Structure 1
Amino acid sequence: MNAREVRPVLERLATRSGGELLAKEPHWGDAILCDALVQASAILDSDAPLQAAIGWFEPRLSRGPTLTGWFWFWAAEALAAVDLHLATRRADFLNYAREVVGAFETTTTRTADGAVVPHPPALEVWVDVAYFTAPAMATVGRLLKDDDLVERALDQLLVHHRYLADLHSGLCWHVAYVDKGTHSQCLWARGNSWFAVAAAQVIGVLGSQSGEGRFRPKVASLEAAVARQLNAVVELQDESGLWHTVIDRKDSYLESSAAAGFALALGRALAYRIEGMHRESAGAAYERAIAAICGKVDERGDFVGVSQQTPPGDFAFYNSIKVGTAPFGAGLCMMALSEQIRRSR
């Protein structure tokens, strides 16, 4: 699909999502949807998605970040806040992001080697935490010219990969149980997409510096990890352009949000020319994924076929998760379509 075909789909999705964000009950994925609206606003040259994002976030500015309770609720707000700062140049958004990133640094439980633990006292490393921490850390670090913070963002991705990588396939397990030295039973598609998006985004934040100086060895390790992962992902894509929710099990259902995440990660990885990518096959998989997720945006602007909140379990459990709509799914789709239009310019 070309950008002219993708644009009306993105417009429909952004219009629906902006209204939904302001009207519905709170959900931990709302900050991802907010962030996506900021990105769509810039690509569509439309103020409405940005105003919806600001309208959702401003009550949080007045009371400040919560920084307690369920990790996913407050952690997701950092990246939305920093992107709102970049869109508006308002210092209060950057200050909010700094406070949340500061909590990553000072108040979260860590493993001995530094991986953020989202559900203490259980010493577990979750694949999606890579997305909720590292991109915001890297972006805030670049804005503040704090190379130490940028390097810690790279460290967070690399330590997650050390715990979660399946040595045979290059894919990531959902959860590592640190004390037991084991991991969850299945290779969850959306979880793999969260890691790939986070890695590509941090590499993009570094830009021309990624191959220079102090960052070079760690960026090289991260590029090797995400290239191997995405090469494996491409091989497992269904002919529909989607992926199975347990990515290596064709007897699990095809799921939309993983395809949106992989489209976003592949688009960025191709744009940043990440070393080790099989570019021809990755490009073809990317085009199939974009077409597939466009087909999952209905006439109302809902992104459908999204598996709901998914803790780890056995194969039967993953395959039993209901599908529908979810703010994190719509957010991933919006970001992927925004990236597609940006790449075509």
Structure 2
Amino acid sequence: MGYYFDNEHAIFSMTQDINTVLKTVASRYIGQNPSYDVSYYAYQKNGIRQDNDYRFVFDFHDLYPLSPLESSVYAWSKLYSDHDMNMTFEISCFGPVIIYCNGQRVFKPNVLIERMRDISTTFSVQLKKGWNNFVLRFIRTNTGCGGTLSAISSRNRPQSFIIPSQDRQSQRGWLYTLPLNKPLAQLPEVGMKEEETGVTWYPINKWLPEEETMGQMMRMYSLRKNCKAIGWTTVFAEKSGEYIIKGRNSGPIKIYIDKSLVFNSEASKDFELQTCLKCGYHNILVINECSEKDWGFAADCFFDGRKIQYINPLKVMGTDEEWVYAGPIPLSTKLEPDNLYKTDKPFGAEDNRVYWRLDKPHTVIRPFNDNKLYGHWNYPLGVTLYGLIETGRYLHDKALIDYATSHVHMCTRYFDYALWDKEKYGAASLHNLLSTISTLDDCGSFGSLMLETSKELEEIGEDIEHDNEDRDDRDISYDYVKIADYIADFIANKLDRLPDGTLYRVNPAHLLMDETIWADDLYMSIPFLCRYYKMTGQQQYIDDAAKQLVLYHKYLYRSDKKIMSHVYDVKHKRATEVSWGRGNGWVAFSYSELLSFLPQEHDLREQLIHNFNELCKGYLALQDEKGLWHQVLTNHESYPESSCTSMFICAFSRGVRNGWLKEEYKYTESVRKAWKGLCREAIDTSGNVYGICKGSGFSFSEDYYVNDLGWQLNDTHGTGIVLLAGVEYAKLLDYLTDGGN
């Protein structure tokens, strides 16, 4: 019996071939995380907003300043959970608040909390698998009415609250009432029609009768002289043949089918046109200009005398509308249909960019990423995809490379949109970390991966022109460089540093993090700085990377054990003296990254290689008899931990191959033993990876790491680094087979 499973379930029992192990782990990950694109949701911008910290802001005192004392305003939404679980929420109250989940009261503040809006408190909710119904009751007092609500760590993992009524099911956000003099006799439930609840829910999503008589552009945008707007839908031609489009326009109009202009009229009139369509899907794009009194259009499609139903081109959740619209756009702005069918960026002039919306009051369309992992930007995924792409390169497996690069490209191509969305709506619908960088975790690891994957794109590479203002805004290389510049500026000019230049964490709102130096941050900074140096040729970035390793060594090195403490507390002027496994793994791995880029003549190279050797001696001495390292390196009673074991494999293998380590034979044997240990103890026959420590805080007590920081299955902190370990071990064997050449 192994530590995590019976021996017969170990992948070692089926194969000792490294390539097969790599393929099995990589295929399992991709199979569990298919590459779906973003989803588009209806969202009413005059509803409950989220701020930059992803807190929902229910400021009903501001919305209803004349509401009577003791009146109640209700808010209603639903939240999906993949499984039964306990979720912790954070709330600040502007007055009394009562929160119900699935009909049960789960929170009511005490008399202090309910009147201290600057103080937040937490509460836990037991969620069931499936949809969970949330109803919030806010009571008006002289202190106010409302509050803010978010899940703990919602900035890292924003929660998707969805409108629960049958009328606008799947629309994003919350419904709310007018101030009510009496509490609701019955709480609303998921799937009810709004009229069944006995109250009117806001924001209103229907046009007034007089607005219905206007052209849709008029009611959405009002009169906008010298402006135009766009309508877009799709049609499925069930057979090839002649199709008829007929309708009426107010204001000049152009109609495109796919890329071809099929109708152009300066006059407002009824129209009818015939067009040949091949069987399949076709885009219909209408560009409509504002006239003196009205603007808008109607256009129906017919085949064999039957009206053909249009299909929403973005398949927007939360609506049955068939058309999407964008505007107003100045007449002087040139519009090409090719660019308008792309949805990853707002379009139009820089000072007047627009995105798609619906023909409903204040209802816009926003893209969200509903995938659990694919297409998201965070630091563990930076390491995961690094492992996947290196595996693809080593195995010459284009599918693995394409998967990793497509994940990165999904992040980069929506970057401009995310920044625009944040400015418009408070909290970006995509790339919550990238759009609001505040720590190295938010940018360094994935930014490094982004630059690493640029090798796979023809648009990037030897011909990349840094800071070329003439680059095509839609070119992939432009997106990569723009994001890289954004991250580099943050690290170089905005990140907190001690007087000696050491990167450290300052976060008064998060006391655990405040004024601390974490071993983890070496990997969150150094690989990016190295690759940015390679991309730009700017010496300051490789110098900073080298300097950080020297400085962190000064603060965290434990000379008695030749290993590193996890954290140095600046306020207390001391290190924890607890050597967390993955924290040390980040250090060793970061050395191997830096030394791969550091010029041979660099002033700090000799010192860094010396420090690397001393650390590796310390790590080598703490390997257990099965070849693994543990959650706390000095405590073999703690569980064997897969991510740190994998990082030591990487560091040792690179150290031997590149001649950085002395006594190569010891490290070669250690790597062989460690890989065998992983395959016997931590990787099963399906490619699942066990024993990966979850994301950590820190403590001066070893007990926290041993008993509070448990391991997780297939956690992204470890899957990719296991793949990298296999690749580096395979390269080491190739090197030894070639006689060390």
Normalising by structure 2, we get a TM-score of 0.44
Q: 1:63 to 1:46 in 2, by over 3 A?
A: same
Contact 1:54 1:84 in 2 (8 A): yes
Q: CA deviation at 1:218?
A: 0.7
Q: CA deviation at 1:113?
A: 1.4
Encode CA deviations 1:121-151: one digit per residue, 9 max, x unaligned: 4221100100111121112202322222211
For residue 13 of structure 1, what is the aligned residue in structure 2? 25
For residue 502 of structure 2, what is the aligned residue in structure 1? 115
Q: Which has the higher strand share?
A: 2
For residue 250 of structure 1, what is the aligned residue in structure 2? 636
Q: 1:238 to 1:135 in 2, by over 3 A?
A: same
Contact 2:444 2:528 in 1 (8 A): no
Q: How many angstroms apart in 2 are the aligned matches of 1:310 and 1:239?
A: 26
Matched, 1:289 2:674: yes
Q: CA deviation at 1:94?
A: 4.4
Instruction: Specify the SS of the correspondent of 1:24.
Output: coil
Q: How many angstroms apart in 2 are the aligned matches of 1:154 and 1:14?
A: 32
1:185-196 equivalences under 5 Å are: 185-196=577-588
Matched, 1:53 2:404: yes
- Which range moves more in the overlay, 13-22 or 253-262? 13-22
Q: 2:532 aligns with which of 140, 145, 152?
A: 140
Instruction: Specify the SS of the correspondent of 2:435.
Output: coil
Q: 1:88 aligns with which of 454, 457, 465?
A: 457
Q: 2:702 aligns with which of 315, 318, 321?
A: 315
Q: How many angstroms apart in 1 are the aligned matches of 2:536 and 2:16?
A: 37
Q: CA deviation at 1:251?
A: 2.3
For residue 546 of structure 2, what is the aligned residue in structure 1? 154
Output the amino acid matched with 2:710.
K
Q: 1:278 to 1:66 in 2, by over 3 A?
A: farther
For residue 106 of structure 1, what is the aligned residue in structure 2? 493
Instruction: Specify the SS of the correspondent of 1:125.
Output: strand
For residue 664 of structure 2, what is the aligned residue in structure 1? 279
Contact 2:440 2:524 in 1 (8 A): no
Q: CA deviation at 1:119?
A: 4.6
Instruction: Specify the SS of the correspondent of 1:327.
Output: coil
Contact 2:379 2:524 in 1 (8 A): no
Q: 1:40 to 1:96 in 2, by over 3 A?
A: farther
Unmatched runs of 5 consecutive residues or more in structure 2? 1-11, 36-370, 416-433, 461-476, 509-513, 735-741
Q: How many angstroms apart in 1 are the aligned matches of 2:485 and 2:392?
A: 23
Q: Which has the higher helix share?
A: 1
Q: How many angstroms apart in 2 are the aligned matches of 1:279 and 1:344?
A: 13
Encode CA deviations 1:140-175: one digit per residue, 9 max, x unaligned: 202322222211111121111111111222211000
Q: How many angstroms apart in 2 are the aligned matches of 1:113 and 1:226?
A: 22
Contact 1:101 1:133 in 2 (8 A): no
Q: 1:331 to 1:160 in 2, by over 3 A?
A: same
Moved runs in structure 1, 4+ residues, more than 6 A? Answer: none
For residue 193 of structure 2, what is the aligned residue in structure 1? none
Unmatched runs of 5 consecutive residues or more in structure 1? none
Q: How many angstroms apart in 1 are the aligned matches of 2:383 and 2:31?
A: 15
For residue 34 of structure 1, what is the aligned residue in structure 2? 385
Encode CA deviations 1:2-26: one digit per residue, 9 max, x unaligned: x971100001111122344544255
For residue 220 of structure 1, what is the aligned residue in structure 2? 606
Contact 1:17 1:33 in 2 (8 A): no
Encode CA deviations 1:193-251: one digit per residue, 9 max, x unaligned: 11011011110123xx32x2xx1x31111111111011111111001110121101122
Instruction: Specify the SS of the correspondent of 2:558.
Output: coil
Q: How many angstroms apart in 1 are the aligned matches of 2:621 and 2:411?
A: 42
Q: 1:198 aligns with which of 578, 581, 590?
A: 590
Q: 1:24 aligns with which of 369, 372, 379?
A: 372
Q: How many angstroms apart in 1 are the aligned matches of 2:725 and 2:506?
A: 29
Q: 1:6 to 1:94 in 2, by over 3 A?
A: farther
Contact 1:201 1:268 in 2 (8 A): no
Q: 1:10 to 1:234 in 2, by over 3 A?
A: same
Q: 1:334 to 1:119 in 2, by over 3 A?
A: farther
Q: Which has the larger radius of gyration?
A: 2
Q: CA deviation at 1:70?
A: 5.3
Output the amino acid matched with 1:290.
W
Q: CA deviation at 1:302?
A: 1.7
Q: CA deviation at 1:337?
A: 0.9
Q: CA deviation at 1:297?
A: 2.0
Encode CA deviations 1:54-108: one digit per residue, 9 max, x unaligned: 2222232123332425542333211111111122243243443343233211121
Encode CA deviations 1:258-281: one digit per residue, 9 max, x unaligned: 111110111111111115x33222
Instruction: Specify the SS of the correspondent of 1:267.
Output: helix
Instruction: Specify the SS of the correspondent of 1:252.
Output: strand
Encode CA deviations 1:282-307: one digit per residue, 9 max, x unaligned: 12111111112233222222211111
Instruction: Specify the SS of the correspondent of 1:29.
Output: helix
Q: How many angstroms apart in 2 are the aligned matches of 1:198 and 1:241?
A: 21
Q: How many angstroms apart in 2 are the aligned matches of 1:228 and 1:267?
A: 16
Q: 1:189 to 1:298 in 2, by over 3 A?
A: same
Q: 1:293 to 1:76 in 2, by over 3 A?
A: same
Q: How many angstroms apart in 1 are the aligned matches of 2:446 and 2:655?
A: 24
Instruction: Specify the SS of the correspondent of 1:55.
Output: helix
Contact 1:305 1:324 in 2 (8 A): yes
Q: How many angstroms apart in 2 are the aligned matches of 1:18 and 1:132?
A: 24
Instruction: Specify the SS of the correspondent of 2:613.
Output: helix
Contact 1:66 1:74 in 2 (8 A): no
Normalising by structure 1, we get a TM-score of 0.91
Q: How many angstroms apart in 2 are the aligned matches of 1:94 and 1:283?
A: 38
Q: How many angstroms apart in 2 are the aligned matches of 1:301 and 1:96?
A: 33
For residue 564 of structure 2, what is the aligned residue in structure 1? 172
Q: 2:689 aligns with which of 300, 303, 319?
A: 303
Output the amino acid matched with 2:396.
D
Q: How many angstroms apart in 2 are the aligned matches of 1:67 and 1:141?
A: 24
Contact 1:138 1:202 in 2 (8 A): yes
Q: How many angstroms apart in 1 are the aligned matches of 2:437 and 2:391?
A: 30
- Which range moves more in the overlay, 244-253 or 13-22? 13-22
Output the amino acid matched with 1:142.
K
Q: What is the identity percentage for the equivalent residue pairs of Structure 1 and Structure 2?
A: 19
Q: How many angstroms apart in 2 are the aligned matches of 1:55 and 1:201?
A: 24
Contact 2:627 2:674 in 1 (8 A): yes
Contact 1:81 1:96 in 2 (8 A): no
Q: How many angstroms apart in 2 are the aligned matches of 1:94 and 1:262?
A: 31
CA RMSD of aligned residues (A): 2.1
For residue 338 of structure 1, what is the aligned residue in structure 2? 727
Structure ranking higher on relative contact order (CA contacts 8 Å, 6+ apart): 1
Q: How many residues align?
A: 337
Instruction: Specify the SS of the correspondent of 1:245.
Output: strand
